Amino acid sequence: MARIRVGLLPSTMFMVGTLPVPKIADQETGKIAQDRDTGEDLFTLTVFLMEDGRAEQMKLTVPKSGLPDGLNLGLPVRPTELFATPWARIFNGQLSDGIAYRAAALELVK
């Protein structure tokens, strides 16, 4: 699957919408998803991207080591090494598609 680096404007802002929770790889076993290269546990959270007078809700996956201490709802953050991966699958005969977002880390913005 092709990963696409996401370019951000200097004025782009992100705000934490939900706290990180473990990303589940297997719903039946509850196994936590892990990074393919490092084996590190992955977490997901919702952030709000604000740019050019608009806001979008974005689900973001980040490895545990990339989550800063003190992360709280409403805090401004900045993702580092943000990538988008388009995906599609057929489930029960219906096509689902979207974009998965992944960052190496989140930085607290002061």
Rounded to whole angstroms, the Cα distance separating 7 from 81 reads 9
pTM of the predicted structure, to 2 decimals: 0.88
pLDDT digits over 5-20, tens only?
Answer: 998 888 999 999 999 9
The CATH number of the structural domain formed by 4-108 is: 2.40.50
Rounded to whole angstroms, the Cα distance separating 79 from 83 reads 10
pLDDT digits over 41-81, tens only?
Answer: 999 999 999 998 899 999 999 999 999 999 999 999 999 99
Rounded to whole angstroms, the Cα distance separating 83 from 7 reads 9
Rounded to whole angstroms, the Cα distance separating 51 from 40 reads 31
